[in-house]
Amino acid sequence: QTVNLNRQIKAYQDAGCMVIGLAADGEVSLPTLDLADGPLVVVIGSEGNGLSRLVAENCDQLVSIPMANQLESLNAGVAASVTLYAIAQARA
């Protein structure tokens, strides 16, 4: 846990990590993102509000998870699970 998430994101970036934020309207789709190597930080927003504007701006990439048409969004826990699974598969 951190007191200032934006400062922590910057520290991770300065240490060479790629920081991705999960967002329903992310410009990059999870299956197309290169997850194979390098240190990676995944930022997940709150259930109701998602990522704050400033946190989203500080992420290197905003990533969306493709879903069937009838689904509006996934809850944060499910989105985190799907993303971590995709990372594990890419690095296996």
User: What superfamily would CATH give domain 5-91?
Assistant: SPOUT methyltransferase, trefoil knot domain (3.40.1280.10)
Structure confidence at residue 37 (pLDDT): 85
- List, for residues 34-83, the tens digit of each pLDDT value: 887 899 999 999 888 889 999 999 999 999 998 877 677 778 999 999 99
Tell me the H-state helices in the chain.
5-14, 53-58, 76-91
- List, for residues 5-36, the tens digit of each pLDDT value: 999 999 999 999 999 999 988 999 999 998 87
Q: How far apart are CA 36 and CA 74, in angstroms?
A: 24
pTM listed for this prediction: 0.88
